[in-house]
Structure 1
Amino acid sequence: MKNNSKYIVLASLTLLLNMQSCKKGFLEQPPESNLSGTNFWKTESDLKQGVNGAYSSLRGMGSFSYWLFGEMRSDNTTFQYNAPQRGQENRELVDQFLASSSNTLLQDYWRDSYTAIMRCNDVLDHVDAIEMSAVAKNQAIGEVKFLRAFHYFNLVRQFGGVPLRLSVTKSPSDSPSKGRASADEVYNQIITDLNDAANNLPDASSYPSGDKGRVSKGSANALLGEVYMTQRKFSDALIALRKVTGYSLMATYASIFLTTEKNNVESVFEIQYYSTAGTNLSSNFMYQFAPFNSGSVVTGDSKTNLSFGSGWNTPTTDLISAYEAGDLRKNVSLGEGFTDASGFVAVPYVKKYNQGFVQPGQTNVNFPVIRYADVMLMIAECLNEGGFVANGEAFTLLNEIRRRAGLPFKTSGNPIPALNVNSQAAFRDAIYQERKIELAFENHRWYDLVRTGTAIAVMNAHGQREILKAPSQFPAGSYQVTQNKLLLQIPQREVTLDNLPQNPQ
């Protein structure tokens, strides 16, 4: 595993440290105020450090923002109400659709996304000046164009049209943006970047062991397919998704998430984490998602106390009840409670990332972003949108996922009503259901609800069920989801400083 994550270890170094040469003494280093493209971007090694720095942004956002805005806003997860500790209400407000433009978590998400985009732009602005092989140069371009597209895809889905920053800010006069681009303009840039990435990146199988986990041609085409599906361009999506080759399903669902199976044959793109003494590259999902009152029962780590940083991304009753009897994925994905000295405590929690800890408070678990199972389900959806074919290829793909889950096949004409799928609309429902379960806690559910046009109805109904459980715990206006509420508010700081128009609420 050390080799598999070697490149991400380098990404933890600051740009200052990356720029320093071991052949020079401390006094010979240029002052920090003078570090620039002129005295850094000189060698292929410098470029590789810049690309690694672009990857490193994923780690921080993957540890929090991605699941907060991609999963906890959906009907899959909520939070464990912590009455004694009320210092994390900003998180709760995101879940309840009450987050205002002053919510600091929105500002963090925006800032971190643009910091990541800046790192990608920095590489693109300097790559041509560095002498290196065309193959290595093209790979670097492909990697950062994929990453830039990924960040803009998240931004446009959460905020709508956003400023397009495609080069490095070199002076204070460059700081103001040109304003919010339209959503279509942002999508056009994303598509351009992903096509460039697909053309420049190698296949995942061609990476040496020390570089496993870098994005590949398959990563770019898979994300491009999802982008087209979000735009409801299903024929274009199918073309891109058909190009995602060289992958297969893992034999069992549980094996996908093992730390010994990082970057496996099903992994199209995952965020790399690595825990070892002296580094800060670890993940901690197990601790964040454990009930805050579970002690060490859930984590197995008696030296790490749980508090207000735990009890998040809690599986909902809606999700738990959506599993079919006998679904092998349920026990892998979630626990319905834990048992301590007092007996069974019915507080659900995410188990998918409970793979033990390397040292107290630190785990070695990667976070999946795109799996081949996701690609298979997207292809099936595109095929169905092109026209329903009873028991055709789309059914084959769907049922491959169900076979691994230990579930009976869904077919057209099945004598069992729950397994009978006899129309295009019924197949849509089958795909949406399978994505909800197969990809639970992998940050797909909210985006699926929005792109399929079901978010308002699903979230309003879900919200009412949540409120009925404990009405006093929910502020007025909770879960009153409208079309405007599907987009987050632009952070007020950006509205003020960059003169950006606000999303209506």
Structure 2
Amino acid sequence: MNTFNQKIYSMLVVLVIMTSGCGKDFLKIDPKTDVNADSYFKDENQINQAVSGAYVPMRDLTKSFTWIFLEMRSDNTAFQYNNKDRGSEQREFIDEFLVTAAAEQIGQLWSGAYTGISRCNDILAKIIPVEMDAAKKDQYIGEAKFMRAYYYYNLVQLYGGVPLRLEPVNGPEDARSKGRATVAEVYDALESDLKDAAEKLPPKYSSDQAGRATKGAAKTLLAKLYMLKKNYKAAIPVLREVMTLGYDLLPQYADLFKPVNKNNQESIFEVQFLGSVPELASNFMYQFVPFTSGNIITKDPNNRILGGGAGWNIPTEDMLNAYEPGDKRKAISVSEGYTDENNVFVKVPYIRKYVNGFADAGRTDDNFPVLRFADVLLMLAECLNEEGYAANGEAFNLLNRVRHRADLGDKKAVTVPDQAAFRLAIEQERQVELAFENHRWFDLVRTGRAVTVMNAHGKREKATKTYLPGNAYEVTDNKLLLPIPQREVNLDKLDQNTGY
């Protein structure tokens, strides 16, 4: 277990202790055996543990929720229909654009992000008087601001304007928010956090600290924010700075996803998992294979895939058809089916990217990629094109650099003759290069293509899947945002999104 993951594991224990003491403040005395927020944050070790604890919700959200909203809600993936186990219909409704504000996953996604934000707020409020090395203090502040920005980056795109909580909640009087901030206000807070994080964070860490947020991670997320704001001119120099920080494409696409290559030279930020520790293990392989496959795909003799725990994030025909002939990434990323125990091929596609063996029954050692250098190359190509199409110019070179690793030929102006055509070329390349890495839904919304793409996708899905409700995939602008969780509407008096 590397030092960074040890800190995360230790912080899990500390968080349990801190929360178990709640409700005893009537005594106004802190028992010596208890740890709480008032007696914590006193030295560098405690700050380090608290920062590690702020990463924990990110891991939990990545493991259980974000792929539902960012892949299944796009045209990339859907689900394997299970007519014998109907206990997970809410996940299906998310895919079908039929979800309601009362859905459990809607609330869990929201609360998980705000848990992370709350931990970042506590760190930023408590760290200033703590005596420690100035560079270390800057690093911890930078990490907390990057994580707070990351949580808000997801929230604002999924829910729209959300409560902007930038201070700790110290008591019941702070529990109610000031209501939903505007999207522009959230963007401003994001920009401030990410600029400060980029100034304070180091470009890299020693190997035992790999996985922490870096300068490159903050700058990449800042560039994504500028692209959300259509400020491509501001994004370009930020992306160029990222390109000077030592990142590069791995020679082989397949090597990106092998657990032995965690935090490699192409990786800018990935969510850390550790298969040898139950609380830190990932399980993407088990969730993303067909529930009918037993242990044929996982090769785990002690964990057969049955029922509602699998059959999720199943690649669609649209996803399979997005790959060009000869694209090496297809066989690495996805399989079109499996051969069962009777040597019969079962045509249920599944994600191969995360089929990399297991550490123990039901536990895998896969990290989850969030930001990587290929994404940066494609972002810069997109920004350059938005600033002005140039036939066979730099944007083409960046796009083709990504394509060459996949053994694909160059895109040239003869077949991509204008700005609109280049936009579509970038869209397709991002879809296949970053498949199943939680980029597709945000890409579709950011480029204004979500309604068109998803309605066309829905028609194709309903033409072949008879179990889909008749009103599935009726996507309008009002359906691009998720509903605000009903609990938050009721308790925090928040306005609901239009259409719910």
Give the shorter-chain TM-score range.
over 0.9
Q: 2:280 is paired with a residue of what secondary structure? A: coil
Looking at structure 1, the residues matched to 141 and 3 of structure 2 have their Cα atoms a distance apart, in angstroms, of 23
Name the CA distance, whole Å, in 1 between partners of 2:370 and 2:472. Answer: 29
Q: What is the aligned partner in structure 1 of residue 226 from structure 2?
A: 228
Match of 2:498 in 1: 504
Tell me the amino acid that sits aligned with residue 392 of structure 1.
G
| Offset, 1:33 | 11
- Taking the aligned partners of 1:348 and 1:384, their CA distance within structure 2 comes to 34
Kindly indicate whether the alpha-carbon contact (under 8 Å) linking 1:357 and 1:363 is maintained by their aligned counterparts in 2. yes
1:470, CA displacement in angstroms? 2.2
What does 1:392-471 align with in structure 2 at a 5 Å threshold? 392-413=393-414, 420-471=415-466
Structure 1 counterpart of 2:255: 255
Paired position in structure 2 for 1:308: 308
- Could you say which residue in structure 2 is the equivalent of 1:290? 289
- The reply on whether 1:489 has 2:483 as its aligned counterpart is yes
Which deviates more from structure 2 when the two are superposed, residues 37-46 or residues 292-301?
37-46
1:366 corresponds in structure 2 to: 367
Supply the AA of the counterpart residue of 2:402: I
Residues 42/3 of structure 1: CA separation in 2 closer, same or farther (3 Å cut): closer
* Post-superposition CA distance 1:162-201 (Å, at most 9, x none): 0001111111011000000000000100010000100110
Query: Distance between the aligned counterparts of 2:125 and 2:392, measured in 1?
Result: 50
Residue 471 of structure 2 is aligned with which of 451, 463, 477?
A: 477
Residues 143-173 of structure 1: per-residue CA shift (max 9 Å, x gap)? 0100000000100000000000111111101
Post-superposition offset of 1:16: 4.7
Match of 1:416 in 2: none
Deviation at 1:265, TM superposition (A): 0.2
Give the 3-state SS of the residue equivalent to 2:38 in structure 1. Answer: helix
Equivalents in 1 of 2:151, 2:8: separation in Å? 18
Amino acid at match of 1:329: R
Shift of 1:7: 3.9
Is 1:198 matched with 2:204?
no
Separation in structure 2 between the aligned mates of residue 209 and residue 106 of structure 1, nearest angstrom: 36
Amino acid corresponding to residue 210 of structure 1 in structure 2: D
CA distance in 2, matches of 1:487, 1:131: 44
Measured in 1, the distance between the counterparts of 2:348 and 2:446 equals: 31
Q: CA deviation at 1:15?
A: 2.2
Question: What residue in structure 1 maps to residue 238 of structure 2?
Answer: 240
Q: Is 1:10 aligned with 2:10? A: yes
Question: In the alignment, which residue of structure 2 is the partner of 1:23?
Answer: none
Question: In the alignment, residue 436 of structure 2 is paired with which amino acid?
Answer: F
Aligned to 1:417: none
Note the 1:43-442 alignment, pairs <5 A. 43-204=43-204, 207-244=205-242, 245-276=245-276, 279-306=278-305, 307-342=307-342, 343-413=344-414, 420-442=415-437
Deviation at 1:379, TM superposition (A): 0.3
Do the aligned partners of 1:5 and 1:212 also contact (CA within 8 Å) in 2? no
Distance apart, 1:58 and its partner CA: 1.1
Cα offsets for 1:422-459 (capped at 9, x unmatched): 11111111101100000000000000000000000100
**Structure 2: distance between partners of 1:124 and 1:501:** 29
2-structure distance, mates of 1:350, 1:376: 24
Cα distance, 1:269 vs structure 2: 0.4
Q: State the one-letter code of the partner of 1:394.
A: A
Q: Distance in 2 between matches of 1:275 and 1:17?
A: 24
Give the conservation status (yes or no) of the 8 Å contact 1:143–1:201.
yes
For residues 318-355 of structure 1, give each alpha carbon's deviation from its aligned partner in whole angstroms, at most 9, with x where no partner exists: 01011111100000000100001230000000000111
1:13 shift after superposition: 2.7
**Conservation of the 8 A alpha-carbon contact between 1:19 and 1:40:** no
Over residues 201-223 of structure 1, what are the superposed CA-to-partner deviations in whole Å (9 max), with x where a residue is unaligned? 0002xx11110111100000000
The residue identity in structure 1 corresponding to 2:374 is A
Q: State whether residues 332 and 352 of structure 1, in contact with CA within 8 Å, keep that contact through their aligned partners in structure 2.
A: yes
Distance 1:485 1:287 in 2: 30
Is the CA contact 1:295–1:302 (under 8 Å) kept in the aligned structure 2? no
The more displaced of 473-482 and 264-273 is: 473-482
Partners in 2 of 1:275 and 1:4 — Cα distance? 14
SS at match of 1:40: coil
Amino-acid identity (%): 49
Letter in 2 for 1:198: A
Deviations 1:356-401 (A, max 9, x none): 0011100000000001000000000001111111111111110011
Matched position secondary structure for 2:489: helix
Distance in 2 separating the partners of 1:260 and 1:36: 38
Amino acid across the alignment from 2:404: R
Residues 49-95 of structure 1, C-alpha deviation per residue, up to 9 Å, x if partnerless?
10000011111101021101111100000000011000000100000
Contact 1:79–1:92 (Cα < 8 Å) also in 2? yes
Give, in angstroms, the shift of residue 4 of structure 1.
Answer: 6.8
What is the alpha-carbon distance in structure 2 between the residues aligned to residue 14 and residue 44 of structure 1? 15
- TM-score, normalised via structure 1 length: 0.94
Q: Give the alignment's TM-score, normalised by structure 2.
A: 0.95
In structure 2, distance between residues paired with 1:15 and 1:459? 41
Structure 2's unaligned 5+ residue stretches are 21-28
Aligned Cα RMSD in Å?
1.7
Instruction: Give CA-to-partner distance per residue, 1:106-147, whole Å, 9 cap, x none.
Output: 010111110110010110010012111110100000001000
Mapped partners of 1:319, 1:16: distance in 2 = 42
Q: Indicate conservation of the 8 Å contact 1:228/1:236, yes or no.
A: yes
Report the CA distance shift for 1:243/1:148 in structure 2 as closer, same or farther (over 3 A). same
Give how far 1:3 is off. 5.4
How far apart, in 2, do the equivalents of 1:5 and 1:49 lie?
Answer: 11
- TM-superposed CA distance for 1:478, in Å, is 0.6
Secondary structure in structure 1 of the residue aligned to 2:156: helix
Q: Which residue of 1 aligns with 2:23?
A: none
In structure 1, runs of 5+ residues without a counterpart are 21-28, 414-419
- Aligned to 1:128, the other structure's residue is in SS state coil
What amino acid does structure 2 have at the position aligned with 1:132? M
Contact 1:8-1:272 within 8 A present in 2 as well: no
Larger mean CA deviation between 88-97 and 38-47 belongs to: 38-47
**Does the aligned pair in 2 maintain the 1:156–1:183 contact within 8 Å?**
yes
